Amino acid sequence: METDINECELGDPCYSGSKCYDTEGDYKCKCGFWHRGDGKIDKGCQPIIPWSAVEAVAMLVAGAILATLLVLYIRRVRKRRQRKKLFDKNGGNVLRNVLKIKIYSEEELQKITTNYSNKLGSGAFGEVYMGVTEEKQEVAVKRVVPSDEAPSTNDVIQEMTSQSSIQHPNLVRLVGCCLDTDVPMLVLEFIPNGSLHSVLHDAGRNMHIPLLARLDIAIGSAEALAYMHSNIDHNSIVHGDVKSGNILIGDNMEPKVSDFGTSKLMSVARYNKWTVFGDMNYIDPVYMSTGQFMDKSDVYSFGVVLLELITRKKAKYDGTSLRVEFDKHYKDDDARRKMYDQDLLFDEALRPHCTECLDKMANIAVQCLRNNVDERPTMGAVLEDLKKLRESAKTHNADQLV
């Protein structure tokens, strides 16, 4: 009777790099991982991929990594140089010594906005994103759309210096900027309650807004525009895009005019048809026909906002212009009053006082919307008329007005 001998137990008969496996009447020497051949033979196990090939591949990979790192480094250097160039072009060397606001780098704004992931809205001048600074302050970061004609260094220095020094309770405050982009980016205080347009027509359309609250919104907005037109170092800032979407609503329904930081700071006479791009439903028709934009153009746009406040209708609704429709019915008391927001007239006891107040607000709006620019009031005159109306409401115990 034959006895099967386990050769693997008698001593390792296999060459280095292989392992012995006993079989019936014989044994096998299997090559190790990533090797092939016969382990019974000296040097019988050879790498599946020759070491020379492995070394070549390793060198290629190392070369590719080094090349990639070099390209990334060159790009980073070029980007740093480009940002430095833009920073200098935007007057950074001067502004960092005179600005009362913080100058952010583009990387800081990317971090603040989580790479611009929370878009709040967009308009004629650019896009706005929500952000939170390292100090845990909520801000709105505005990326301004570059124009074909870039502003000069002196223009940027003048504008940013003036905007950073503006302090008015009814203007959205500029808290910072970024100068290493094509057009300076603006960091603004964040107003959490949205725009007047949203409150009147969109998210808040079912919310009751008392007449006096609407009058106070009109007064606060007029305060801001009058301040811009006449009270800033003897220079006039024309807003250029006055609309309900650019009037933000703060605490206690306090209005704050926004987007003034992207309007061009210069004497009114320098405005032309290439510098202002606004909502067509608010733009002064005189500007559209002549290309001349002035402070009275802001007055016109404010007149449309007043109509929105008293009618709670959009500047364009049901395919028609609110201004055109209101003008058509203005001289007919019954027809005009049917256009008022009926939510303000449901209380019979207060209806006469509310109607009188709405009529006077309508009259102010119509004056603002006159086609003859010279017949329009200044923003300061509009403000005074609105304040007088507010005082008149107090004498009628109108604080109870709905």
Q: In whole angstroms, give the CA distance from residue 264 to residue 181.
A: 18
**Positions marked active-site:** 241
- 295: enclosing H helix or E strand: helix 295-311
Which two tokens mark 11? 């001593």
Residue pair 326/338 in contact by the 8 Å Cβ criterion: no
User: Comparing C-alpha atoms, which of 402, 387, 82, 31 is closest to residue 218?
Assistant: 387
Residue pair 95/157 in contact by the 8 Å Cβ criterion: yes
User: Comparing C-alpha atoms, which of 266, 249, 156, 236 is closest to residue 197?
Assistant: 249
Pairing of strands 126-132, 247-249: unpaired
Q: In whole angstroms, give the CA distance from residue 188 to residue 140.
A: 5
Angle between helices 379-395 and 351-368 (to 10 degrees): 170
Q: In whole angstroms, give the CA distance from residue 368 to residue 310.
A: 15
Q: Is 102 annotated as a binding residue?
A: no
3 state SS of 149: coil
Binding site for ATP, by residue number, is 142
Binding site, by residue number, is 142
